[in-house]
Amino acid sequence: MNILTEQQGKVLEFIAGFIEKNHFPPTRTEIADHLGFRSANAADEHVKGLVRKG
């Protein structure tokens, strides 16, 4: 079973809500800004982790 980390859960929740509201996904920069990450690359790493976990 692939359990999400707390940060991955926050990323997933933000992405899902953003898509529901805007009908398209957020950019890496939007994810980073919303969650307080220092860079878009940090957001990208969390998204990659979500993809790996399915």
Averaged pLDDT, groups of 10, the chain, 54 residues long: 88 98 98 96 95 91
In a domain, 1, yes or no: no
The answer to whether residue 31 sits within a structural domain is yes
pLDDT of residue 1: 58
**What does the pLDDT read at residue 54?**
86
Residue 22 lies in a domain: yes
Q: Is residue 33 one of the residues assigned to a domain?
A: yes
Structural domains in the chain (count): 1
Give domain status of residue 43, yes or no.
Answer: yes
Cβ 13 vs Cβ 46: under 8 Å: no
Q: Domain holding 14: CATH number? A: 1.10.10.10
**Which structural domain, as residue segments, surrounds residue 38?**
6-53
